[in-house]
């Protein structure tokens, strides 16, 4: 796929800002981590949970998590096993361990308050560039480039005339996103979340609702006739029969139990011995399960 170009001279950046910010003001979903009373911790928890997980699945778990652990200190005082149990069926449960580790570091290094500075956020366990930028932007109204899947797709279409962005973030793509970012920090933060919402609700991957798009008349991809993606093939991820499914099945059995689970119960949950044994070992190695006897497992 060709490299993402610099921002085209014909793009009316102020017009894009007005259109997206106005649309978001009218169409934004009422989500708890976006409310004026949302704490930085609420924003941080949402960012961990929303990674590769739809909003609808996150909402009830986010609410329960904040009710149980309303501060980083509250979570840090809990066991990792409690965090894994509360994570429920969101998937990718190592995120629960990373969030617990980040909360512990916040208590130890930042007096229990989610740090404001991007560099301090980036230094926390389990936090990369995207999450650090998102927390700084959405929790503290700072000016950062925030490139999630939805933002990248909208920018690729509107400004670069491409159906899909590169498979991973490129230097040119980041420069293009930075060139579109409003100067005022508050506007930049709203611009970021507005692009996210536009990508989630209108500019979807397979069936974009261009007729409802506030920047339809400014979209380079539409102006070019909506050319199809011409980059490397994007192979859809499978789930059935994978180690990820096996790990999830085994962890779910232990998570739903009141105490230690016998190996015989786990053998009944997954019938392929070699895969089951490999996944059990990896769950223990990752800290998601603990072997508490010669033939039994429990949450840590």
List residues with catalytic annotation. Answer: 47
Q: How far apart are CA 133 and CA 218, in angstroms?
A: 27
Establish how many alpha carbons lie within 13 A of residue 128's alpha carbon, considering only the half-sphere containing its beta carbon.
7
How far apart are the C-alpha atoms of 173 and 178, rounded to whole Å? 9
DSSP letters along 135-198, please? HHHHHH--------HHHHHHHHHHTT--SS--SS--HHHHHHHHHHS-SSHHHHHHHHHHHHHH
Residues 266 and 300: beta-carbon distance below 8 Å: no
Q: What is the distance, to the nearest Å, from the Cα of residue 58 to the centroid of all Cα atoms in its chain? A: 10
CB-based contacts of 283-291 (< 8 A; 24+ apart in sequence):
283/247, 283/250, 283/251, 286/94, 286/97, 287/80, 287/97, 288/84, 288/93, 288/94, 288/97, 288/251, 289/250, 289/251, 289/254, 290/81
Q: Which residue has the tokens 């962005």?
A: 165
Place of tokens 């096993």: 81
Phi, psi of 207 (to 5 degrees): -135, 70
- Alpha-carbon distance 201 to 212, whole Å? 10
């Amino acid at each position: 796929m060709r490299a993402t170009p610099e921002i085209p001279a014909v793009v009316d950046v102020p017009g894009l800002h007005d259109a997206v910010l106005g649309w978001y003001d009218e169409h934004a979903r009422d989500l708890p981590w976006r409310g004026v009373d949302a704490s930085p911790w609420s924003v941080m928890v949402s960012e961990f949970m929303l990674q590769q997980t739809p909003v609808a699945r996150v909402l009830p778990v986010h609410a329960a998590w904040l009710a149980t652990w309303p501060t980083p200190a509250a979570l840090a005082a809990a066991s990792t096993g409690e965090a894994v149990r509360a994570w429920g069926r969101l998937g990718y449960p190592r995120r629960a361990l990373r969030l617990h580790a980040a909360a512990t570091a916040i208590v130890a290094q930042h007096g229990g308050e989610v740090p404001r500075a991007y560099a301090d956020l980036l230094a926390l366990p389990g936090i990369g560039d995207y999450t650090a930028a998102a927390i700084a932007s959405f929790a503290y109204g700072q000016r950062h480039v925030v490139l999630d899947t939805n933002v990248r797709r909208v920018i690729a279409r509107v400004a670069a005339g491409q159906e899909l962005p590169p498979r991973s973030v490129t230097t040119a793509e980041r420069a293009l996103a930075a060139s579109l970012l409003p100067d005022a920090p508050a506007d930049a933060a709203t611009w970021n979340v507005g692009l996210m919402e536009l990508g989630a609700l209108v500019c979807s991957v397979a069936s974009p609702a261009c007729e409802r798009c506030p920047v339809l008349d400014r979209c380079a991809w539409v102006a070019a006739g909506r050319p199809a993606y011409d980059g490397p093939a994007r192979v859809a991820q499978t789930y059935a029969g994978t180690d990820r499914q096996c790990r999830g099945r085994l962890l779910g059995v232990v998570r739903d139990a009141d105490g230690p689970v016998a190996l015989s119960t786990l053998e009944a949950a997954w019938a392929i011995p070699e895969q089951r044994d490999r996944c059990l070992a990896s769950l223990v190695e990752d800290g998601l399960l603990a072997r508490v006897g010669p033939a039994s497992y429990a949450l840590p």
